[in-house]
Amino acid sequence: MDANLETKSAKASTQIKTESKKKRNWKKGLTYLAFVGPALLFFLVIQIVPFLMGIYYSFTSWNGVSSAVEWVGFENYKRIFTNDPIFFQSFMFTTKFMLAAVLISNLIGFGLALILNAALKTKNILRTVFFLPNVIGGLLLGFIWQFIFVRGFASVGEATGWSFFQLPWLGDETTAFWGIVIVFAWQISGYMMVIYIAALQGVDQSLLEAAKIDGASTFQTITKIIVPLILPAFTICFFLTISMAFKIFDLNLSLTGGGPFNSTQSVAINIYQEAFQNNRYGLGTAKSIIFFVIVAIVTTLQVTATKKKEVEA
């Protein structure tokens, strides 16, 4: 009899514990849902759903206005690869711009970080000054620099006679390209600087002191000790600058508008004109899907390569 009572009591205790555990799990699940749910919902509505709709429209000839949506299959993609030289011209410009902008932006950002990581009295003020351009919107920044290139440089050139300031900075294919690179690097280098400074502050100072005692030069200290230790920062900065350079739109639009003669037209501007000015929304979304795949591949390869370097270091 006592054994039966003990068995029933043990079963009841186990059942109570199970129900209590289920309640705790429900509460925990509801708590997670309360915090994650709104963000997940907005992500689905703003990112995933439009992306899936874009894939669908890329197989249609929709003009972006009418209610009639005609399915054309892969015709848009065939047209892009066989009969759209302007798109490939804009892609080549964007790729060339990305390579130059990524290299220059990271060199300037890393250089500023090395300087401002030193014991300077004005380092906090200088950090703020160098970061400020990143706060200014791309369109506004483009119009400001358009005035500088067209009016400011011309005035300086007349006063000094220096040929550098007398160049047609936004009126020639070569100078317009470098003008966009200069403005992009000026805007984004401060952001990269902040990331590099955060990484440099995590470097063990005893290693640098030991290298100095052993007679290592400044260049050797940077290349052999500092750079390998902050490779994760390079991974982040390269990823950010590559993706931002590929997606350049507002800065390019306000500086040159893709001119002269589409020589500085980025892929983003080409897609925008195709979809919203030429009213070929299906073709524009097909271009955007191709562009998305290319950017995803390039950034994935970059992250994989730099992560591998981190492990080797």
* DSSP labels, 3-66: HHHHHHHHHHHHHHHHHHHHHHHHHHHHHHHHHHHHHHHHHIIIIIHHHHHHHHHTTB---SSS
Whether pLDDT at 258 is above 90: no
Place of tokens 């290298």: 211
What CATH number is given to the structural domain containing 305? 1.10.3720.10
- pLDDT one-digit tens code per residue, 265-312: 999 999 999 998 888 999 999 999 999 999 999 999 999 998 888 766
Domain assignment present for 234: yes
Domain assignment present for 172: yes
Q: What is the reported pLDDT for 313?
A: 56
Domain assignment present for 259: yes
Q: What is the reported pLDDT for 95?
A: 94
Domain assignment present for 188: yes
Amino acid at 179: G
Whether pLDDT at 3 is above 60: no
- pLDDT one-digit tens code per residue, 29-55: 788 888 888 888 898 988 899 999 999
Boundaries of domain holding 298: 85-312
Domain assignment present for 235: yes
Q: What is the reported pLDDT for 10?
A: 57
Query: For residues 249 and 252, what is the distance between their CA atoms, to the nearest angstrom?
Result: 5
Whether pLDDT at 103 is above 90: yes
Are 269 and 249 a contacting pair, CB within 8 Å? yes
pTM for the predicted model, two decimal places = 0.85
Domain assignment present for 78: no
* DSSP labels, 122-181: THHHHHHHHHGGGTS-HHHHHHHHHHIIIIIHHHHHHHH--GGGGS-TTTSHHHHHHHHH
Domain assignment present for 213: yes
Q: What is the reported pLDDT for 8?
A: 55
- What is the chain's percent helix, strand, coil content, to nearest 5? 80, 0, 20
Tokens, residue 298: 């390039």
Residues with Cβ < 8 Å from 303, sequence gap 6 or more? 235, 239
Domain assignment present for 47: no
- pLDDT one-digit tens code per residue, 155-196: 888 888 888 888 888 888 889 999 999 999 999 999 999 999
Number of domains in the chain: 1
- pLDDT one-digit tens code per residue, 114-167: 998 887 788 888 888 888 888 887 788 888 899 999 889 888 888 888 888 888
Q: At 71, is the secondary structure helix, strand, or coil?
A: strand
Residues with Cβ < 8 Å from 141, sequence gap 6 or more? 133, 183, 187, 251, 254
Query: For residues 9 and 4, what is the distance between their CA atoms, to the nearest angstrom?
Result: 8
Tokens, residue 216: 């290592």
Sign of the dihedral defined by the CA atoms of residues 233, 235, 240, 246, in that order: positive
Whether pLDDT at 58 is above 80: yes
